[in-house]
């Protein structure tokens, strides 16, 4: 028993110091950044092959998000990371955030404030947390409307005393729908199992798809959400343009993502916890150290609040704003398609 524990602590020490020493640009030596840090795309000074970050590593763009074909099914694809952690994904979210991720997702729903009939695309929705909340919230709004209608019948207002001119019109409002889209089949499989266990079947669809090339027609959705997923996309600008394309005019883009902590003291504590504790939790709970090491590193490579806000505006969204949660550990960005 003592030997495995000693081995685990040696791995903690080794991995917590791995790749921390990078140059001021945040890119390993030998590579020259070709554009602003937000895109995180670089070119090797010895080749013209486009490359990007995978955590603190630099890898060819084609290899970051691959789903695995032949020799390209390697250990550092984003697809492989989430395939490895899918079964323990929800448990790890609770462990890593001490359950606070539930409050962050609740905050997203309150900002969204969806009404009955809303059509939601939850990109990188994986295990369905946002979609389930959306459907529950819409049902609550429907129930409020029914109670309000019942009260108005008991005490009719002047509108109800007017002659009924609705004969011949179609009955019933448009039903709300949530589409969970994710590039990873394993994550969607876990989400479907959760939905079955909760008895949720109507108004919910599961689609395998890439955020950079969505399998939907233009102007399809009222709301596009992506929670803790956009930092894993190779070309963030392209994913934002796809979000704009599939939203209806007046539709809303909402992104919940890890960001830059605003309090210096909390930032130091957060860094120490992230690099030294989270990979250990990944090893103990999910049996996967490397995937959670990548997740920690990917957070540090993601643009800060203002930079990401500018990227959303550059994609064509209007009225873009953000709100920090837990002192900037997470930021909630939103914008509208006009």
**SS3 sequence of the chain:** CHHHHHHHHHHHHHHHCCCCCCCCCCCCCCEEECCCCCCCEEEECCCCCEEEEECCEEEEHHHHCCCCCHHHCCCCCHHHHHHHHHHHHHHHHHHHHCCHHHHHHHHHHHHHCCCCCCEEEEECCCCCHHHHHHHHHHHHHHHHHHHHHHHHHHCCCHHHHCCCCCCCCCCCCCCCEEEEEECCHHHHHHHHHHHHHHCCCCCEEEEECECCECCCCCCCEEEEEEECCHHHCCCHHHHHHHHHHHEEEEEEEEEEEECCCCCHHHHHHHHHHHHHCHHHHHHHHHCCHHHHHHHHHHHHHCCCHHHHHHHHHHCCCEEEEEEEECCCCEEEEEEECC
Query: 127 labelled as ligand-binding?
Result: yes
Query: 218 labelled as ligand-binding?
Result: no
Site of tokens 């486009």 = 50
- How far apart (Å, rounded) are the C-alpha atoms in residues 249 and 329? 31
- How far apart (Å, rounded) are the C-alpha atoms in residues 335 and 333? 7
The pLDDT of residue 230 is 96
The pLDDT of residue 282 is 87
pTM: 0.73
Per-residue burial over 239-259, b = 16 or more CB atoms within 10 Å of its CB, e = otherwise: bbebbbbbbeeebbbbbbbbb
Query: 331 labelled as ligand-binding?
Result: no
The pLDDT of residue 155 is 62
The pLDDT of residue 287 is 85
Token pair of 257 as six digits: 């993502």
Query: Which residue ranges in the chain fall short of pLDDT 70?
Result: 1-79, 81-82, 84-85, 154-173
* Domains annotated on the chain, with CATH: 67-147+174-337 (3.40.50.150)
The pLDDT of residue 289 is 84
* Residues whose CB is less than 8 angstroms from the CB of residue 255 and which lie 6 or more positions away in sequence, other chains included: 225, 226, 227, 230, 308, 312, 332, 333, 334
Query: 234 labelled as ligand-binding?
Result: no
In sign, the C-alpha dihedral spanning 275, 281, 282, 284 is positive
């Amino acid at each position: 028993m003592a030997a495995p524990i000693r081995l685990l602590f040696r791995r903690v020490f080794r991995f917590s110091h791995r790749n921390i020493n990078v140059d001021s640009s945040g890119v390993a030596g030998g590579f020259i950044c070709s554009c602003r840090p937000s895109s995180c795309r670089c070119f090797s000074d010895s080749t013209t092959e486009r490359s990007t970050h995978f955590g603190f590593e630099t890898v060819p763009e084609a290899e970051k998000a691959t789903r695995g074909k032949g020799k390209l099914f390697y250990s550092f694809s984003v697809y492989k990371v989430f395939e490895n952690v899918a079964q323990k994904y929800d448990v790890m979210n609770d462990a890593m955030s001490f359950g606070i991720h539930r409050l962050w997702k609740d905050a997203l729903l309150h900002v969204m404030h969806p009404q009955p009939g809303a059509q939601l695309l939850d990109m990188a929705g994986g295990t369905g947390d946002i979609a389930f909340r959306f459907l529950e919230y819409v049902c609550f709004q429907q129930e409020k409307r029914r109670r309000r209608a019942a009260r108005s019948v008991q005490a009719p207002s002047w509108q109800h005393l007017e002659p009924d001119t609705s004969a011949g019109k179609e009955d019933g409002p448009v039903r709300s729908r949530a589409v969970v889209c994710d590039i990873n089949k394993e994550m969607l499989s876990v989400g479907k199992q959760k939905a079955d266990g909760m008895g949720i079947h109507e108004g919910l669809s599961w689609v395998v798809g890439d955020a950079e090339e969505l399998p939907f027609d233009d102007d399809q959705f009222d709301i596009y959400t992506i929670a803790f997923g956009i930092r894993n996309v190779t070309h963030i600008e392209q994913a934002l343009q796809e979000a704009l394309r599939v939203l209806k005019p007046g539709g809303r883009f909402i992104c919940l993502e890890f960001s830059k902590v605003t309090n210096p003291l909390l930032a130091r504590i957060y860094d120490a916890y992230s690099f030294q504790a989270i990979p250990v939790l990944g090893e103990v709970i999910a049996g996967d150290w490397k995937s959670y090491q990548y997740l920690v590193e990917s957070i540090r490579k993601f643009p800060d609040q203002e930079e990401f806000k500018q990227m959303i505006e550059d994609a064509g969204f209007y009225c873009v704003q953000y709100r920090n949660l837990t002192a900037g550990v997470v930021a909630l960005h939103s914008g509208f398609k006009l």
